[in-house]
Amino acid sequence: MSGGTGAGTEPFPEPAPAGGAAVAGGARWAPGAVLAGLCGGTLLAYALVGDVVLAELVPEPRADRAVGVLPAVLALAPAVLAALPARRRATLPVAGLIPVLAWASGHPGAAALGVLLTGALLAARRGLRRAAALAVAAAGAAELLAVALVSGSWLPGLRALGRPVAALVGAHGLAAVPVLACGAAAAGLLLCRAAVRHRTARPQTFVPPTLDPRDKQGARNR
């Protein structure tokens, strides 16, 4: 039994480190991907019914609620166009024009969400997947927090919880919540992209090569 294995061989070879790193990386990315997916679904759900829910919870909101699937379509259209692999340069200007049209047509929340989703998609393509996931997750969490605060304000003794959201909605309308949440997340993603570009474009200092002493002696002899 012992003669079958030599002195330099191992009966149980260790696994390759690359596979272990890949498994560890997958386990590390799984919670973030799930969180980003849940918050992305929250953003789309808010685009569909968020204004209706806030209008029922906030006392006397401004009458600018957006009902129907049009806000969600306007929010998803830029990201869908930006995701098209063919003729990407031709679709990107159209994807950037849709949020402007959405804002002009009275759907600023959908416009802000479209900008965020498109920016997150483009950032993920350029290697900033974690930053894109965090931006989407932060926007979804902010909208969830707004609804939770307003809902909690209906409980006895907790009326003060919903005052910040009620003041924001009363001053700027129901669309202020998605505009603020998605706009801040998109701005943070843009700053992250600019910081990465600045770091990669930093000029490198030139270090002259050092000559071997024997090469210097040979050059003197010549």
DSSP line for 121-189: HHHHHTT-HHHHHHHHHHHHHHHHHHHHHHHHTTSTT-GGGGHHHHHHHHHH-TTHHHHHHHHHHHHHH
Q: What is the mean pLDDT of residues 47-55?
A: 86
pLDDT, position 202: 55
Angle CA 183–190–171, to nearest 5: 15
What pLDDT, on the 0 to 100 scale, is given for residue 124?
85
What is the residue type of 108?
Answer: P
pLDDT of residue 21: 40
The mean pLDDT value for 34-51 works out to: 80
Distance CA 14, CA 173 (A): 62
Each residue of 150-187: b (16+ CB within 10 Å) or e? beebeeeeeeebbeebbebbbeebbbbbbbbbbbbbbe
| pTM summary value | 0.70
- The residue ranking higher by pLDDT, 97 or 112, is 112
Q: Which residues contact residue 141 at a Cβ distance below 8 angstroms, ignoring those fewer than 6 apart? A: 39, 42
Report how far apart, in Å, the C-alpha atoms of 7 and of each of 3, 10, 15, 187 are: 9, 8, 20, 62
Residue-range domain boundaries for the chain: 36-199
Predicted local distance difference test score (pLDDT) of residue 129: 86
Distance of CA 14 to the CA centre of its chain: 38
Residue 151 pLDDT class (50, 70, 90 cuts) = very high
Of residues 16 and 173, more confidence is placed in 173
CB 150 within 8 A of CB 58: yes
Give the integer Cα–Cα distance in Å for 10 and 23: 24
Q: Is the dihedral of CA 47, 116, 92, 41 positive or negative?
A: negative
pLDDT digits (tens, 9 = 90+) for 178-188: 999 999 999 99
pLDDT band at 99 (very low <50, low <70, confident <90, very high): confident
Give yes or no for residue 198 having a pLDDT over 70: no
Average pLDDT over residues 32-58: 80
Average per-residue pLDDT for the chain: 75
